[in-house]
Amino acid sequence: MNPEKLSPVGRSLLDRRSFLGQSGMSLGAIALSQLLAKDNLLASTSGVGPIRPDIDDENPYAARNPHFEMPAKQVLVIYCPGAVSHVDTFDYKPDLYKLDGQKPPGIPQVTFEGPTGNIAKPFWDFKPRGESGKMVSDLLPNLAGMVDDFCFMHSLTTQTSAHPQGENFMNTGFTMEGFPSFGAWVTYALGCETDELPAFVAINDPRGLARSGKNNFGSGFLPAAFQGTDFTASNPPANLGRPNAYTSDADRASVSLLQRLNAKHLQQFPGDADLAARIASYELAGRMQTSVPDVMDIANEPAHVHKAYGTESGTELKKAYANNCILARRLLEKGVRVVQLFNGSDPAGGNGITNWDSHSEIKKTHAMQAEIMDQPTAALIADLKQRGMLEHTLVVWCTEFGRMPFLQANGTGRDHNPDAFTCFLAGAGVKKGFSYGESDEFGFKAAVNETSVYDFNATLLHLMGLNHERLTYYHNGLERRLTNVHGHVVKDVLA
């Protein structure tokens, strides 16, 4: 080797005297650090770096302690695909009435779907509600009656105007596919209080999956055990029924044999998370043969419950969604950690028909979605409250972005608005009858306390007792997290 091709540092490493000198100093530093650590004189590192959940490969769903104690132990996410219009529901803007039919300066000429039209006042009247006097429109009368239990966030913003990317961003923290969902992160960190049902259940809309499909409740690169299990009140998990010719004793004997064989197989591949997850999922499926029929027994709920939720009135879609709401409550009662309830699906049936995406005829299409969502959702939250479950359950009502205060050129619909939208929280750990942040006078852009989706998700994790900066998973050379490298907890909404 020609020493002239080496750098000065490289040449010094070939020098025996330098090598011994540097080695001696390095070993001395290591010894000093050990002595300081023994006497507890090193700077604390307890507040930095990842916090890895201690996951038992043979029981990945076992309950685990949070990073810090918070009231919320379970979470219900009510997700409305399609983008609910904040200016027609929860975000009251008197100036829209003053400028109705006008096109003041500052309105863009083109938005997501094309040319813009004039300012349009809300399509439903707003009234003060509850003791707090919160202004909410007549579109959602049942939810409006519960505003004193809600914590509204009016200055949310997102990074995209497209539905698939918007769903991904709200539910996984990234616009691209392949990242773990919020529910997967929570169950990865906390496990579950029940071993008879999945830790994370996604209840799809009666009309089907949302635009981003199973990515909304997938596990991404987290162990497969933490993906959401999706079923509805009318479509239970498949393949749980035992064939009539197969006795219960034979079934138990088979399960016992399989457990022994699986345990022996797993010992040959320690640390194989995919294998462990596969075994755990099959064992859970075996237990679900008895637990799922019980939790799905909605028909035996008292008549007053069915009346409150609206399972026997309105459209067939409303009845089906109401049954899903009852199922959500029953799952939470049984100890499921995360329940994600969808109100809306992929818009295969046309604009505003299968979800809240109202580019035309917003008065008709939003009214149709509200008829499905309002009563059952309000009944679900009220039911949780009446049973004392809101003391330990966080409720999250959300959508991917808002809608514009002006109409599209067609004069009947509102386009996508990523710069201002509204979501609300209720239950454990959040303020009641409170509004945080403001959009501008038109509801066009966030104006006071602008809050990103990163901030929103950081706050949700905090309410579950999780540090969003330290809940990470090492993947492809990076410590990945739900909030990427962003996000701050919105402490003003904490009770």
Query: Is residue 358 within 8 Å of residue 366, measured between CB atoms?
Result: yes
Q: Which helix (H) or strand (E) holds 23?
A: helix 16-38
Alpha-carbon span 80 to 400, nearest angstrom: 8
20-31 pLDDT tens trace: 777 766 777 677
445-465 pLDDT tens trace: 999 999 999 999 999 999 999
Q: What is the pLDDT of residue 288?
A: 78
**pTM score of the predicted model:** 0.86
The yes-or-no verdict on residue 14 having pLDDT over 80 is no
| CB neighbour list of residue 434: distance below 8 Å, 6 or more residues apart | 132, 150, 151, 152, 493
Mean pLDDT of 218-233: 94
The yes-or-no verdict on residue 37 having pLDDT over 60 is no
The yes-or-no verdict on residue 250 having pLDDT over 70 is yes
Q: Nearest to residue 488, comparing CAs of 450, 434, 433?
A: 450
Q: What is the pLDDT of residue 239?
A: 72
Q: What angle do CA 295, 284, 185 make, to 5 degrees?
A: 90
Q: Percentage of the chain surpassing pLDDT 90?
A: 71
Q: What is the pLDDT of residue 1?
A: 47
Q: What is the pLDDT of residue 439?
A: 98
Which stretches does DSSP call E strand in 198-265? 200-203, 229-230
Highest mean pLDDT among 31-35, 267-271, 288-292, 420-424: 420-424
Alpha-carbon span 166 to 355, nearest angstrom: 14
Cα–Cα distances (Å) from 478 to 52, 445, 472, in that order, read: 14, 34, 9
Strand order in the sheet with 114-119: 110-111, 114-119, 402-408, 414-417
Query: Is residue 363 within 8 Å of residue 85, measured between CB atoms?
Result: no
When pLDDT is cut at 50, 70 and 90, the band that residue 59 belongs to is confident
Mean pLDDT of 7-34: 69
* 165 φ/ψ sector (left φ>0, alpha ψ -120 to 50, else beta): alpha
**At 493, is the secondary structure helix, strand, or coil?**
helix
Give residue for tokens 């090492």: 474
Query: Is residue 226 within 8 Å of residue 337, measured between CB atoms?
Result: no
The yes-or-no verdict on residue 482 having pLDDT over 60 is yes
Mean pLDDT of 219-233: 94
The yes-or-no verdict on residue 113 having pLDDT over 50 is yes
